[in-house]
Amino acid sequence: MTGHAGSVQILAFRPSQGVLTTGGADGSVRLWQTDRGRARAVLCAATGSAPTPWLWRQYVSPDLPYDPPCAARR
């Protein structure tokens, strides 16, 4: 996923909640889900569908194999 538009100035990690919070020089604050299962559930609930291969390359990674979290598992 996209991040800050500049350097990270501060961060806080709460392992018990699986969340990393960062504050950037761009004035934004971001919450990063560190529990993969929970991150998948949040992403799927927010989008309601799997990203297309183009969106995967754009917002996840051009280097990671396409493996959408909301796709039906067989």
Query: What pLDDT, in 10s, does the model give residues 4-50?
Result: 788 888 888 887 778 888 988 888 888 887 877 777 777 778 777 77
Domain residue ranges of the chain, discontinuous segments joined by +: 1-34, 36-69
The overall pTM is greater than 0.75: no
35 vs 31: CA distance, rounded Å: 12
DSSP labels, 17-60: TTEEEEEETTS-EEEEE--HHHHHHHHHHHHSSPPPHHHIIIII
Residues 6+ apart with CB under 8 A from 20: 11, 12, 13, 14, 31, 32, 34
Which pLDDT does position 72 carry in this prediction? 58
